[in-house]
Structure formats: structure tokens, C-alpha cells
Chain A
Amino acid sequence: MWSLSGISNIIHNWLNQQFSPLWALIFEMVIAGVCVIGLFAALGLVLVLMERKVSAWMQIRLGPNRVGPKGILQSLADTLKLLVKEGMTPGGADKFLFNLAPLVAMIVAMLLMAPIAFAKDFQLWDLNIGVLYISAVSSISVISILMAGWASNNKYSLMGAMRSGAQIVSYELSAGLAILSVVVLTGSLNLNEIILSQADGWWIFKGHIPMLIAFVIFIIAVTAETNRAPFDLAEAESELTAGFHTEYSGMKFALFFLAEYVNVFIVCAIGATLFLGGWMPFHIGHWESFNHVMDYIPSSIWFFGKTFFLIFVIMWFRWTFPRLRIDQLLNLEWKYLLPISMFNILLVTLMAILGWHF
């Protein structure tokens, strides 16, 4: 019910009837590309509005409420404004790298969407090493930040970029180990198989306390990886004005901005997929009737519900916590998170070998 696989099958069959297999494949790729770009833009708009509304709610304000009903068209208006603005390149900047950096940030965010299962049988690329692909591609995002910081020829940008480099490289380790604990339990790097393995219960429940620890570490690490507060040292507006994107304006800035939000969506989607069962409905053991009711909720709603819950948690962090200092940030990773996650993965491995999970 409500499965999107029907639509994709119809399109696939129709294209194969009309064209040769090669052209059909090319058309499918174009359709997928348009879908990704559309989703990228839509997610950016929705998440920016969501952030503004969440922050307004936490800060006893109303938030945007002028453009459209309840202000839902505000981010569209902002995008329009940024599009018509002049995209300035400061004198003395490395023009090629300066203009390339936002594109790299955007392309990385788009590439990461490929292996994510948005609903049952609705995945752009069912990759057998999906988890590895995600960890590998998400590491590229630091290059765009370093590029932007270096090419801007601005001291604030440079410092922001250097902070970001140290931060992302460090926190990737913890995030990787947390992801690995799911892989150890599932025995597969394929995201679809990981979701299917959670049919009888999500890993966060099935995996006892070690998986809970892994989940918490994952959330902390991805918050740092996406440069969100309390780990937003790369932009730290009270210290570095705007950090690595100080010199960016117009659409180039907007691309960084959108990429940040899409990255937040992606890491939350990955967290939801790995730990909270992706599009898998919530099932409790042998409560057949309960499970049956849960199955009636469409899989896409399950997926987006979990993802947006995690996004809300990350936004909650941002509007509550003060920012860490750079040395405290690195201490947290190397002295606490990394040893804990290393020990945790040993526990998970032991659990997997002895079959202690449900």
C-alpha cells in the first residue's frame, strides 16, 4: 500500500518499450537526476523554514509569518532574493577555487542522496556497499570547506576552514565506528539489507545498550560533521564573523547554506536508516494486531517521520547549547568519544558473535 515501487516500475517498463535499453537507462538517469535536484531544492527550503520556526518557538518569537500563509513561502522569497543578488568574488581570491567550492559542497550533498531508501522499494541506487559509499563521499565535504576558506584570501575564512578540517577529520572516526557497529550486527554494507534486518525490531532496541551508545555517539559525531552548533566552530559568528563563508554572497552563499541543510537531512536519514529501521514500521514482538495497524502507515511517512525527528533533535541542540572551544572539541573526540566507541564496537562484536541480540 502507498508503495512508490508501482510508479517506478511503470516508468521503467514504458521507457523500455519505447526506447532501446541504453536510451531507457539514460532517460532513467536523467529522471533520477531531476528528482535529486528537485529534492535538494525542496529539502533546503523546507529545512530552512523548519529551522526558523523551531528557533522562533524556542526563543518565544513568531518567526517568519509574512510571506504566504504562516510564512511558508519565506524561504522561497529568500532564495529568489539570493538568486538575483550579485555573486561577488573578492579581489585577491583564487577565482577558480572560490567559485568551485560551493559547487563541490552541493555535489557532495547530492551524491549522498543516491543510496538512501526514501520509502519501500524507492531508492535511486541499490548499492551493495552503500554504507562504505556514504562514509567515503561524506568525507569529501571537508574539501569544499577547506577550498572555500583558502581561496577567499580572508583570515577569518582561513581560520574557520582550518578548524573545520580538524573537526571533521576527527569526528569522522567516531561516526564511522558507530556506523560499523550496525554493519557488524547486520553483516552487510547494503542499506536495503540493513533495513530489512530490522523488520522484527530496530537496531536501537534489538542491540541493547551498546547500540544505544553507538546511536548517541553517532548523533554527536554527525552534528560535528555537519558543522552544526554546538560544534559550529567553522562558522562561529561571534568569533570569526561567518567563518569559511565570510566572503561569499548571493547564490554561492546560498549553495553552502542549502548544502548544510541537505547534509543535515542526509546524516539524519542515515541515522534513521541504520538505527531506527529506515522505512520499516514500528513493530512490537508478537502483537499481531498492533503490528498490522502500524503496517498501514505508508513507509515513506515512517522514513520521513524518523528523519525529521532526528533533524529536530539536532536543531534543538543548536538553539540550546553554547559553542565549544576548539581544544575542548578535539578533547571530546579523542579523549572521550573515540575510546568509548572503540570499546563499544568490541561489545557489539561480542554480542554479534554470541548472538545475544534479539
Chain B
Amino acid sequence: MVEEIGTTTEGDLIINVGPQHPATHGVLHLVITLNGETIKKVEPHLGYIHRSIEKMCESLTYRQFIYVTSRMDYLSAHINNHACALCVEKGLQIEIPDRAKVIRVIMDELTRIASHELWWGAMAMDIGAFTPFFHAFRERETINDIMEETCGARLTMNYFVPGGLMADLHPDFQQKVKSFISLFKSKVDEYDELVTGNVIFRNRMKDVGILSKEDAISFGCSGPTARGSGVSCDIRKLYPYEVYDKVQFDEVLETAGDSLARYMVRLREMKQSVRIIEQLIDQIPEGDFQAKTKAVLKLPKGEFYTRVETARGEFGVYIVSEGGTTPYRIKFRSPGFSNLSALDHMARGSKLGDLVAMMGTLDLVIPDIDR
């Protein structure tokens, strides 16, 4: 049975991590060539959760296709919807009411916090600490409850529509968000105590999985992955949409490019998101939550592209319209796909345990990669 162990002629061990494996958080399949414990090559195999969402969107109208995109990066459902709504609005040249703009930004930032919380718990679990996962979920649950009240859903929100929002805010929204913010601020320090300051954790993360600035750019990394390497790529800052140009927040940048840097970027980003929400939560303007739009939307002939910053990085929507009620062609630029492509480069030469930590810091959501 020695042949089935999967040794190559050089004596390397080839193991399959995934499609069912606790570390991949989904159906990602990595074929890893190992020399002892040292990684020689990582080969991601995709397609296990490919649902051809892009093709599906092409047969749906401009109002309908947005709901499908909640299922791509399910942790940034709001932000995916946001990008699609923005693209359609750009094509139709609709100006949405200020109230909708502010609410969209608040929702985006709440989603970002929720997504980063899940990442934080899962990342700690990847390197062997179980307890943070439950602590993170405690706070994430509060956000889900807030979302549930307003959007009616906890994961696939479908709250943003072309022209504004699906419905107005729940009357308790502002008060609940404020109480969440005060709760969250006290818990963020707990996260630092529990995980960030731990000596084992720092040893596991520091100088591991280094991605240089040049490599981050050439692999097309975006979001916290690239910002951990010092690449300034926050779409909210560089190409502001909605009211991001009116709020004060910092683009979080770390220069080390290792796993710890990526970790710190996400942790500090949560605090920046809180800052944005704090500025806006009392400033939600009165007025309509939706602009007047036609019953049937028809984009003019042409090509439209918008991009937004999801919790994982730059998310782009590219629509080609022939002037009909459905898009002629839709292409999504998902952040996870490009970030995953850097994994092989980062992992070579490090230990198997490091690979799991690196995958954790990339914050991969597999349906976002496969679509």
C-alpha cells in the first residue's frame, strides 16, 4: 500500500487538504507537496461550490440579479448588493436620496465588523484556540439581530435595491446600534487580551507568510491582505462612493507583510468601522429611503463598472448592456480569488501549521472565490 501514501520519486509527501477539512472553512481543495513538515508547493483546486452565479445573473432582470449576489461572499452580503446597486444606478444615472446613502454606509460598516468578527474567531480556531470563536460570535449575534429587525434576514440581507433601500429602518435601529457600539468597544480590548497579546499567538504569526509590497500588487491582492503589505488600496479612500468622502476614518496600513500584519490590519479596521458608524448614526437625514425609479429598469447600451471595498478587499461589478431588461454579460471581480492566488507564494518553505494560519489571515470565503 506504500504507493497509495502518495510519495513522489523525490520522497515528498502529497496531501490533500480539503475539500472537506476543518482548516479550509468550506470546500476549498489544496493539494500540498510536503517535505517532512515543510511545504514545497500549494496548489488550490477550485470549483467545488461553483454555481455559475454570473451566468445566472445574465438571465435575471436588473432588479432581480442583486439578490443572487448575496450568496457569493455571504459575510459581506450588504456590500455585494451595494456594488451591484451602484452599478445599476450608474447606468441609469439615478441619484439616490441622502438618507439611503447614509444608511447604506452604516450597514456596510456593520457588515464589515460582523465579517471581521467571524474571521477573528475562525482565525484563532485555525491556530488552535477555541474560546475566541465563541466570544466573537457573542458580539456578531448582536449585529445579526439588528440586521434581522431591519432587513428581515441575518445573512443574505437583500436590503439594497437600485435606487435606494428595500424598506425604511426599524424604529429601534439607531438605539440598538448605539448600544452595540458601546458593548463592542469594551470587547475589542478583550480580544487583544485573549489573543493578540498571547506570546504563542505572536510567535505563530510573526514573520510567517511574508508577502512583499511588490508581490501583493502583482498578485492583485486587495483589502486587508494587501494593506498588511503596505499597499494603499482602500476603495473607500481612493474612489469614495456614497458618503465615505464626508466621514473621518483612517486607512489602516501595516508594512511588515506577515500574518501578524494582516491580523492587525483587520483588528484595527474594526475600530475604524466603529468610528464611521459613530459619526453617522446620529446624522441619518430625514427623507425618502428610495428614489423614484421606473417599474422596469433598462440600462442604456454600454459597459459599466463599479467597485466597492468589501470586508475582504476590492469587489468589482462589470455589466455589459445591450439595452434590454437583462444584462448581456456580468463579471464579478471577487477579492478572495486574487488573494488566494498569493497563498502558494507565501506558503513555500514554511511549516504545515503556518499554512493554516496564513489561510486564516487571508480570510477566504470559498463561495466568493468560486461564485
CB distance from B355 to the nearest CB of A (A): 8
Chain A 196-231 near chain B by CB (<8 Å), digits 1 or 0: 000000000000000000000000000000000110
CB–CB B4/A321 < 8 A? no
For residue A5, CB closer than 8 A to chain B, the reply is no
Chain A 224-265 near chain B by CB (<8 Å), digits 1 or 0: 000001101100111101000000000000000000000000
The residue among A58, A229, A237 with the most chain B CB atoms within 10 A of its own CB is A237
Chain A, Cβ-Cβ closest to B6: A155
Which of B44-52, B73-81, B200-208, B311-319 has 4 or more CB atoms under 8 Å from chain A? B200-208
Inter-chain CA distance A272–B322, complex, in Å, is 79
CB–CB B128/A59 < 8 A? no
Chain A, Cβ-Cβ closest to B128: A323
B202-258 contacts to A (CB < 8 Å): 203-204
Inter-chain CA distance A82–B170, complex, in Å, is 49
Inter-chain CA distance A28–B135, complex, in Å, is 52
Contacting residues, chain B, for A163 (C-beta < 8 A): 37
Number of A-B contacts (CB under 8 A): 90
Contacting residues, chain B, for A236 (C-beta < 8 A): 128, 353
**One of A61, A92, A241, A319 near B22 (C-beta < 8 A):** A241
CB distance from B368 to the nearest CB of A (A): 21
A305-319 contacts to B (CB < 8 Å): 319
- Size category of the A interface is 20 to 34
Inter-chain CA distance A123–B24, complex, in Å, is 49
**One of B21, B37, B129 near A320 (C-beta < 8 A):** B129
For residue B5, CB closer than 8 A to chain A, the reply is yes
CB–CB A155/B124 < 8 A? no
Contacting residues, chain B, for A158 (C-beta < 8 A): 5
CB–CB A319/B1 < 8 A? no
**One of A61, A322, A323, A324 near B134 (C-beta < 8 A):** A61
CB distance from A332 to the nearest CB of B (A): 10
**Contact (A59, B353) CB under 8 Å given A153-B1, A322-B204:** no
CB–CB B356/A239 < 8 A? yes
Contacting residues, chain A, for B124 (C-beta < 8 A): 322
CB distance from A334 to the nearest CB of B (A): 16
Inter-chain CA distance A153–B5, complex, in Å, is 7
**Contact (A59, B22) CB under 8 Å given A153-B4, A324-B204:** no
For residue B90, CB closer than 8 A to chain A, the reply is no
**One of B130, B195, B201 near A55 (C-beta < 8 A):** B130
CB–CB B15/A155 < 8 A? yes
Inter-chain CA distance A275–B356, complex, in Å, is 38
CB distance from A346 to the nearest CB of B (A): 27
A321-335 contacts to B (CB < 8 Å): 321-328
B280-333 contacts to A (CB < 8 Å): none
B side interface size, CB within 8 A: 35
B167-223 contacts to A (CB < 8 Å): 194-195, 198, 200-201, 203-204
For residue B125, CB closer than 8 A to chain A, the reply is yes
CB–CB A322/B351 < 8 A? no
Contacting residues, chain B, for A328 (C-beta < 8 A): 200, 203-204
Inter-chain CA distance A158–B198, complex, in Å, is 30
CB distance from B21 to the nearest CB of A (A): 6
CB distance from B153 to the nearest CB of A (A): 25
For residue A156, CB closer than 8 A to chain B, the reply is yes
Contacting residues, chain A, for B5 (C-beta < 8 A): 153, 155, 158
CB–CB B201/A59 < 8 A? no
CB–CB B138/A238 < 8 A? no
The residue among A55, A58, A155, A158 with the most chain B CB atoms within 10 A of its own CB is A155
**One of B21, B134, B354, B355 near A59 (C-beta < 8 A):** B134
Contacting residues, chain B, for A153 (C-beta < 8 A): 1, 4-5
CB distance from B16 to the nearest CB of A (A): 9
Chain A 251-290 near chain B by CB (<8 Å), digits 1 or 0: 0000000000000000000000000000000000000000
For residue B260, CB closer than 8 A to chain A, the reply is no
Beyond known contacts A237-B22, A326-B351: 5 more, CB 8 A cutoff: A238-B125, A239-B355, A241-B21, A323-B204, A324-B204
22 sampled A-B residue pairs with Cβ under 8 A: A55-B130, A55-B131, A59-B131, A59-B134, A60-B134, A60-B135, A155-B5, A156-B15, A233-B353, A238-B126, A239-B356, A241-B22, A319-B130, A320-B131, A322-B127, A322-B198, A322-B204, A323-B128, A323-B353, A325-B203, A325-B354, A328-B203
Mark B residues whose CB is within 8 Å of A. Answer: 1, 4-6, 13, 15, 21-23, 37, 124-131, 133-135, 138, 194-195, 198, 200-201, 203-204, 351-356
Mark A residues whose CB is within 8 Å of B. Answer: 55, 58-61, 92, 153, 155-156, 158-159, 163, 229-230, 232-233, 236-239, 241, 319-328
Chain A to chain B: the 6 pairs with minimum beta-carbon distance, closest first: A323-B128, A59-B134, A322-B129, A92-B1, A322-B127, A325-B353
